[in-house]
């Protein structure tokens, strides 16, 4: 099959591409490098000209006056330049309904070209969108990624990226995309629970993890537990980093001789992966119900990860051993779970082994690629 993957978050589409290539499919990845993370793409729509000193000054000036980022002009130019390479694929997958991150109006124009020149287009549900955010705001959930905003509207500015999806222009874009796709494929339980009753929803396909590039290293204990907290400052409250920081401060004070806390901010992907190599425990997020991409990659390396692992996740995989620590937005709960691991390093080491086995069994990139191919062949 000739397959076009549109957009990139957290290395999801890169790993899927690698799995598809192992199955001998012809795959092209078009999109932007996801900000500082700098993921590779085959056809880049990244903004470079407007990031140069003088053009960027003009860009900032226009934004202050109009609240419009004229960088979308460069994305449009690059799209048009490569438009003939975006035609006649057997299957196309959009990583999001807003995959080019321009404006809803421009996005609709670019996507209309993709829809016009490709018959089988599918949408992945793996991040914020109009339907998902409306679901979590209306559903009776104990917590979700917008909980800090719901509880305190003064932090609205820190949630503007997510809240933009609730606007009328994004609602219009959402319906436009839904009307033109063949199906929606949730990538974990957070999105599956939002879409499972949607008429175009297909069965969940887990995130693909390239286990070949993430070597397993059994945890070893030398008297101190190293805890790594990687922070994306853009999503600071959305991931519950404030809650995690409070818990880690208590743990560091409680176990000065037994624990070391390391924190890093907004690192490029390659540097991020290397930075946590010596850690035993990875703090991911507290508002999820399943693991995101970064958590799964850390689990593949044999780390003990604090992330989403709620009942739906446990039930689906019928787990009889712990593979991840369910992180909740409760400082005392986090401290209790961290304290147990620090005081029981043998248990921690075993969870790391379980984590790697879980990813190999349920997220291996070649197996997941086969599942995606099967979904894309649905009539």
Superfamily of domain 211-362: Glycogen Phosphorylase B; (3.40.50.2000)
Counting other chains too, the contacts that 245-249 makes at CB distance below 8 Å and 24 or more residues apart are 246/331, 247/331, 247/334, 247/335, 247/338, 248/283, 248/338
Tokens of 98: 């807003």
Measured CA angle at 353 (ends 351, 354), to 5 deg: 60
Tokens of 270: 């390659």
Q: How far, CA to CA in Å, does 379 sit from each of 95, 112, 181?
A: 20, 21, 12
Supply the pLDDT for residue 36. 57
Q: Examine domains 2-45+82-208+365-376 and 211-362 and report if their fold is the same.
A: yes
Domain boundaries, the chain: 2-45+82-208+365-376, 211-362
Tokens of 234: 């853009």
Tokens of 35: 């900000």
Residue 276 near residue 303 (C-beta atoms within 8 A): yes
The arithmetic mean of pLDDT across residues 301-318, rounded, is: 89
Q: How far, CA to CA in Å, does 31 sit from each of 106, 130, 151?
A: 15, 21, 35
Its pTM stands at: 0.92
Q: Is 96 helix (H, G, I), strand (E, B) or coil?
A: coil
Residue pLDDT, tens place only, 119-169: 999 999 999 999 999 999 999 999 999 999 999 999 999 999 999 999 999
Residue pLDDT, tens place only, 40-66: 899 999 887 877 888 888 888 888 888
Tokens of 114: 């993709």
Sign of CA dihedral 66, 68, 71, 75: negative
Q: Quick one: fold of 2-45+82-208+365-376?
A: Rossmann fold (3.40.50)
**How high is the mean pLDDT of the chain?**
93
């Amino acid at each position: 099959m000739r397959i076009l993957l549109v957009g990139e978050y957290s290395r999801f589409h890169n790993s899927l591409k690698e799995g598809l290539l192992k199955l001998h499919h012809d795959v092209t990845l078009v999109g932007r490098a996801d900000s500082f993370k700098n993921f590779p793409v085959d056809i880049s729509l990244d903004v470079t000209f407007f990031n140069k000193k003088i053009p960027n000054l003009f860009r900032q000036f226009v934004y202050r006056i109009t609240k419009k980022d004229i960088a979308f002009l460069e994305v449009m130019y690059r799209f048009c330049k490569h438009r003939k390479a975006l035609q006649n694929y057997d299957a196309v997958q959009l990583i999001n309904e807003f995959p080019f991150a321009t404006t809803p109006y421009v996005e609709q124009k670019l996507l209309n070209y993709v829809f016009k020149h490709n018959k089988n287009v599918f949408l992945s549900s793996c991040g914020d969108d109009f339907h998902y955010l409306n679901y979590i705001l209306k559903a009776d959930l104990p917590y979700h990624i917008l909980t800090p905003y719901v509880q305190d509207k003064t932090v609205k500015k820190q949630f503007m990226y997510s809240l933009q999806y609730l606007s009328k222009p994004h609602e219009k874009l959402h319906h436009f995309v839904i009307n033109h796709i063949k199906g929606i494929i949730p990538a974990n339980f957070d999105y599956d629970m939002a879409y499972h009753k949607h008429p175009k929803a297909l069965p969940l396909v887990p995130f693909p993890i390239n286990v070949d590039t993430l070597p397993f290293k059994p945890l070893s204990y030398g008297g101190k537990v190293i805890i790594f907290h990687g922070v994306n400052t853009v999503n600071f409250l959305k991931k519950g980093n404030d809650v995690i920081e409070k818990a880690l401060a208590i743990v560091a004070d409680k176990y000065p001789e037994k624990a070391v806390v390391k924190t890093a901010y907004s690192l490029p992907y390659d540097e991020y992966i290397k930075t946590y190599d010596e850690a035993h425990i990875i703090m991911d997020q507290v508002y999820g119900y399943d693991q995101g991409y970064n958590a799964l990659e850390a689990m593949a390396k044999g780390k003990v990860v604090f992330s989403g692992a709620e009942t739906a996740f446990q039930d689906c995989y019928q787990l009889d051993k712990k593979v991840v620590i369910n992180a909740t937005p409760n400082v005392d709960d986090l401290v209790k779970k961290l304290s147990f691991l620090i005081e029981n390093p043998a248990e921690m080491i075993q969870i790391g082994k379980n984590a790697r086995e879980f990813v190999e069994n349920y997220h291996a990139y070649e197996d997941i690629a086969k599942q995606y191919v099967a979904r894309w062949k649905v009539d």
